[in-house]
Amino acid sequence: MEDLLNAFFLMSNFVFVPAIAYGSQLALGAVGVTLVYGILRFSNFAHGDIMAFGTMIVILFTWLFQSYGINLGPLPTALIALPFGILATAIFLLGSDKFVYKFYREKKAVPVTYLIASVGIMFVLNGIVRFIIGPDDQRFADGERFIIKAKAMKQYLGTAEGVSIKVSQGLTVVTAVIVVVALFWFLNKTRTGKSMRAFSDNEDLALLSGISPDKVVSVTWILVAILATIAGTLYGLDKSFKPFTYFMLLLPIFASAIVGGLGNPLGAIAGGFVIAFSEIMITYPYKKFVAYIVPGDWKPEGLVQLLATDYKFAVSFIILVLVLLFKPTGIFAGKSV
Amino acid sequence: MSYLIGENMTGGYGAADILHGCNIIAEKGEIAVIVGPNGAGKSTAMKAIFGMLNIHTGSIILDGEDITSLSPQARVAKGMAFVPQTANVFPSMSVEENLEMGAFLRRDDIGKTMGEVFDLFPILKDKRNQNAGELSGGQRQQVAVGRALMTQPKVLMLDEPTAGVSPIVMDELFDNIIEVAKTGITILMVEQNARQALNIADKGYVMVQGRNKFTDTGEVLLNNPEVRKSFLGG
C-alpha cells in the first residue's frame, strides 16, 4: 500500500505536476497561434519569438523594479512587469501588421505569403531580442520558490517519495485558467468577440454584415500579444529565459494547435495538454515507478525509458506528423491545414 | 419616382460585359422577380444592384438617391439587405448569434426585431441555440433570410432562395416572402423556380443573355405564350 502511494507521489512529482504546468504554458501559446490561423487565416511562425520579445520586456522591467526594491512578497515581481510587456508586444504586433501584413492583405495574397512574411518577422524579432538582452540564459524569478516541498512532505507523511509544487507551477495553472475563462467570455459574450468568430467563420458574410475587418485584425493582434507575453513569462519563471528555447517552442506549440484542431481555441488548450503529457511521459524513466509497483524479484534492470529526454521534441514532431496524416482537422475538427 | 431603380446597367466581372443595358425597377412594398434561362445574367444583375459588381454604364437609384458609387457595406447601411445563394449563414454560430450578427450595425435594442423574425419563422425559435451549420437546408435558408431582416432593411434581395429546397418548404418560403413584403419591404428576387416565383410576383423581369426580354406583371408573364414556350415549358 505504501509502495503504491510512493509510486503515485513519484509520478506526480516528475510527471503530472510538470506536465500540467508545461501543458498550461503550451495551451496559452497554442491559443495565440490558433486565433491567428482562424481569424487572420495564416500560420504565424513568429509566435515563439513574439513570446521571447514579450518576456524580454517583462524581464527588463522586472530587473528595473527589483533595483528599486519593489517586490510582490512571495509572488514573482514579474507579475507587476507583465502589463508593460503586453503593451510593448501589442505595439510591435500592430506595427508589424501595419507595415507588413496589411500590404499583402490589400494585394489579396495567398496564405503561404503571409506565412513567409511571418518567418521574416521571426528573424527580425530573433535579432532584436538577442541584440537587447543577449542569447544567454536569464533568470528573473524571485519571491517564494515552493508551495509544497517534497522533503517537507516526506518528513510529514513518512513516505519515501514526496511531491514538490513550485510557486511558478501553481501560478501557471491559476493564470492559465483565469486567462482562458476571460478569453472565452470575450469570444462568446461580447459583441466584438462574436464579430471575430463570425469573421473567422464566413469572411464575406461578416463583411456584408458591416463587421469592420480592420477592427477584427487589431483586436486579434492585441489578444496574441496578451497570450504570448503571459505564456512566455510563465514559461520563463518556471524554467528559464533563453531566446533559442523560445524559438524551439514553436514546434510543440504548433503541434498542440494542430492536434486540437486549427482555429478552435478549446482544441488548442486540449492539444497543449496532449503534447505536454506525451512529451514528458514518453521520455520519463519509469525504473523507480515500476520498482514500486511490481514484486521484488521483477525490479527492472534498465531505465525503462521509451525515449531519451533529448528526444522530447521528436515526440511533438511525431505526434504532429501522425495527426496530419490521419486526422488533419484535429481532435475538435478545426480547419484543416 | 420608383423606389429601387437599376437602369441601363452594363458591365461584367472582367473584360467581357455580361449585362447589356439591363433595367430592373421595383416599387415600395413590391415583389419583383428576375427569371430567365441559365447564364442569362440574373444573379449578375442583382449583384450589380448590390454593388458586388462594377457597372461601367448605368446607375442604381434607391429612394431617389444615386448609390452607384457606394460599396456593398455602405449600401447595407442605406437599407439594402442581401441574402447570397450559398454560404449565407455563420455555420459555427448558433441561430440566435447569426441573427445578432445580422443586426451588427444596429446599436439599439434588437430584441423586438428578433421576436418578429421568430414570429415569421417559428422553427428558428425552437432551434435558437443550435448551430446554424447543423440545420437542414430549408431551415438554414430561413436563418439566412432572418439574418438579413435583422437590419430592418428597406430592400431585401434574395439570390435563388429556394435552390436545393423541397417543394413544401419552397411554398412556405414564398408565403414568408409575401408576409415580409406586406410589412412594406421591397423584395427583389432571382429565381429558377420561375412558375412559382412569377405566381407571387407583382413585377417580373425575364432576362436573356444580359438583356431584358420581357417585363410585365407576374400574372401576364405566366400567361404569355412566348414566355411559356421559351423557358417555362409550355
Is A197's CB within 8 Å of B100's CB? no
Give the best-scoring range by mean pLDDT among A118-122, B110-114, B141-145. Answer: A118-122
The whole-number average pLDDT for the span B3-20 is 87
Is B89's CB within 8 Å of A207's CB? no
Tens digit of each residue's pLDDT (9 = 90 or more) over A240-299: 899 999 999 999 999 999 999 998 899 999 999 999 999 999 888 888 888 888 877 777
Residue with cell 450595425: B105
Half-sphere exposure of residue A127: CA atoms within 13 angstroms, side-chain side:
5
C-alpha cell at A206: 461578416
CA distance B152 to chain A (A): 13
Q: Is the dihedral of CA A323, A328, A330, A331 positive or negative?
A: negative
Q: Residue B159 has what pLDDT?
A: 92
C-alpha cell at A83: 502589463
User: Residue A337: pLDDT above 60?
Assistant: no
Bridge partner list, B81:
B156
Contacts of B97 in chain A (CB under 8 A): 194, 197-198
Residue in B87, B91, B102 nearest the CB of A209: B102
Residue in B91, B92, B104 nearest the CB of A209: B104
What's this model's pTM, rounded to 2 decimal places? Answer: 0.87
Chain A interface includes B74 (CB < 8 A): no
Q: Which fold has domain A2-326?
A: ABC transporter involved in vitamin B12 uptake, BtuC (1.10.3470)
CB atoms near residue A228 (< 10 Å): 33
The whole-number average pLDDT for the span B58-65 is 90
What are the C-alpha distances in Å from A88 to residues A58, A111, A227, A245, A304?
Answer: 9, 27, 13, 21, 46
Q: Which of B154, B159, B123 is nearest to B140 (CA)?
A: B123
Q: Residue A49 has what pLDDT?
A: 96
Distance separating alpha carbons of residues A246 and A32, to the nearest angstrom: 14
Distance separating alpha carbons of residues B126 and B200, to the nearest angstrom: 28
- Chain B residue with Cα closest to A197: B93
Residue with cell 449583384: B47
Residue in A195, A197, A204 nearest the CB of B104: A195
User: Residue A154: pLDDT above 70?
Assistant: yes
Give the percent of chain A with pLDDT over 90: 61
- Chain B residue with Cα closest to A203: B90
Chain B interface includes A206 (CB < 8 A): yes
User: Residue B170: pLDDT above 60?
Assistant: yes
Tens digit of each residue's pLDDT (9 = 90 or more) over B178-220: 989 998 899 999 998 888 888 899 999 998 888 888 888 888 8
Chosen for mutation from A190, A197, A201 (greatest number of chain B CBs closer than 10 Å) is A201
Domain ranges of chain A: 2-326
CB atoms near residue B209 (< 10 Å): 13
DSSP B93: S
pLDDT classification of A336: cutoffs 50, 70, 90: low
Strand B155-159 and strand B80-83: the pairing is parallel
What are the C-alpha distances in Å from B194 to residues A302, B170, B189, B227?
Answer: 79, 12, 11, 11
- Chain B residue with Cα closest to A196: B101
pLDDT higher at B16 or B90: B90
Tens digit of each residue's pLDDT (9 = 90 or more) over A159-188: 888 888 999 999 999 999 999 999 999 999
User: Residue B43: pLDDT above 70?
Assistant: yes
